[in-house]
Amino acid sequence: MNPQYAQVSVVVIGYDDATHVTDAVRSALAQGPAVREVIAVDDCSTDGTADLLDALAAEEPRLRVIHRTVNSGGCGSPRNDGIDAAAAPYVMFLDSDDVLPPGAVDALLTAAEGQRVEVAAGLCVRRELPSGREVPWERALYAEPALVSHPARRTRLVHDTLCVNKLYRTDFLREHRIRFPDGRYPYEDFVFTARVWAAGPRVALIPDTVYVWHVRRDAARLSISLDRADVDNWRARTEANQAAYEILLGAGEKRLARAVHAKFLDHELRMYTRELELRDPEYRRAWWELTRAHLASFDATDFTANPTAPGRLVARVVMASPAPRDLARLKELAARPARLLPPYARASDTTPVWSDDLPQVTLDHVLVRPAHLLPAAVDAELRPRARGTLLRLRLHELYGRLAQAGPASMDVEFAHREEDRVGLRLETPLLPDRYGDLWTAEAPVDLSALGAGTWDLRMTLRFRDGTSRDVTAHALTGPGLLRRRAVPDARRGVLLVQPYRTHAGALALRTASGWRGMTDVVGRRLKRLLH
């Protein structure tokens, strides 16, 4: 190994993760000679993780193990231990249940050395397990190579709060005393990355995938980002956002600080709003109170910078009401793309408003926004039947704006959720009703073209002037609409079909092919009922 090339210390942190930690460490060692050392910090595990790491270290001279004698309760303290121990010019972080893909360190190191920057960052993918489906994190930010002379020149950087898809100059972190919050501090990477951007580094962005974030939704111990059922998770998230804002504002980085608030409105607020209907009344009241308190710290410019954004409208409704309300409608507004469901109220001066009893939340922006950017509301129902399956769509008028643009047709795709492929495409014209408030469409669906899987409906609303708008369909839930049915299938004998409503309120579809698939689905349902 050329000692001049061994430039990187990889800090792997773990606690009670004997099942996965070996894969994480080996993925770091497999990066090749660019890795001078792997520093594994065991946070006082009790499940054999420490012994596994010691056994690996006995065989691998590049692996050093640090054993904490007291569990820190979080991810920050062990990472700080790694920063303190790092002997290489560059350092990066890896969690024990994730992996570094081949070539990740070389790609980041080449960018850092070639551009002479303090931070190099690449694409992280969220890999859903066990399906293996991969979803890029902040794909647009890493679409192409870029050199950012100062973080304020690319404010989108604050949306990527991950610390693990980046390579840092070790002396840069130490010179600016950039560390993670110690102890139990959920969302510690929000604070760490804010401290990094506040120090004003030059940043190299690369399109290479440099980190694989494993998402295990059925794990016995959920990760912090997935364990959102307790309101303390939301409290921790708002506090971490506020800390990041204050760090950047205190460093004189007002544009970046405002971008933190914009991210909160567009990402966190919308994500948690979509889940509110799943929570109990006590959670909702506490969430509403915490959200109002956090939003009260925002400047007026945080809401007026882009007043048409769905997250800002959600925030205005929350701020205008002292108690939770309109949760179903807010959930649809928080969807991607947003859906603004009726009723469409007007104030006494005919200004569009959220509702008759909340006239201070105005919607006058819908009168000037281009129609292809409006939060159009589409209702959908899928009726699987032995004699033929029908998809029915209903597009709502929106204060006269859609009528001006002239809805013409709807393109519909049934997209396989895990495999990211389209199983069926269809196009259907939209016909206005006689009252001018709705456009409707009805199309036959060949379910035999789909086979087994979970299918999302992706739709494009096309206007007469050639413009279009991506939309999703609000799932109607009337009697018999979301029932499981078995329908004849020429290829497989039978197809078990289950239309259902997603957490965001959209229509989706589960299918199981053949009698064996049907038996498996019924068996899993019985197992859930028994447990």
Q: What is the pLDDT of residue 24?
A: 97
Nearest by Cα to 56 from 96, 89, 4: 96
Helix, strand, coil shares of the chain as percentages rounded to 5? 35, 30, 35
| Total Cβ atoms within 10 A of residue 138 | 17
Write out the two tokens for 397.
């008028």
In angstroms, rounded to a whole number, what is the distance separating the alpha carbons of residues 507 and 456?
7
Q: Do domains 8-216 and 373-530 have the same CATH topology?
A: no
pLDDT value of position 5: 72
pLDDT reported for residue 226 = 62
CATH topology of domain 373-530: Immunoglobulin-like (2.60.40)
At residue 448, the pLDDT reads 83
Q: E strands within 335-420?
A: 345-346, 352-353, 378-383, 389-396, 407-416
Q: Assign a CATH topology to domain 8-216.
A: Spore Coat Polysaccharide Biosynthesis Protein SpsA; Chain A (3.90.550)
The CA distance from 243 to 239, in Å, is 6
The pLDDT of residue 270: 96
Sorted by where each begins, the domain ranges of the chain are: 8-216, 231-368, 373-530
Q: What is the pLDDT of residue 231?
A: 95
Alpha helices (H) along 388-445: 401-405
How high is the pLDDT of residue 531?
46
Angle at 247 between CA 245 and CA 251, to 5 degrees: 115
pLDDT string in tens for the chain (531-residue length): 344 577 999 999 999 999 999 999 999 999 999 999 999 999 999 999 999 999 999 999 999 999 999 999 999 999 999 999 999 999 999 999 999 999 999 999 999 999 999 999 999 999 988 888 889 999 999 999 999 999 999 999 999 999 999 999 999 999 999 999 999 999 999 999 999 999 999 999 999 999 999 988 765 555 655 678 899 999 999 999 999 999 999 999 999 999 999 999 999 999 999 999 999 999 999 999 999 999 999 998 888 777 678 999 999 999 999 999 999 999 999 999 999 999 999 999 999 999 999 999 999 989 999 988 999 999 999 988 777 789 999 999 999 999 999 999 999 999 998 887 999 999 999 999 988 789 999 999 988 888 888 999 999 999 999 999 999 999 998 887 888 888 877 676 788 889 999 988 999 999 988 655 555 545 555 554 444
- Yes or no: say if 7 and 31 are a contact pair by the CB < 8 Å rule: no
pTM above 0.75, yes or no: yes
3-state secondary structure (DSSP) of residue 40: strand
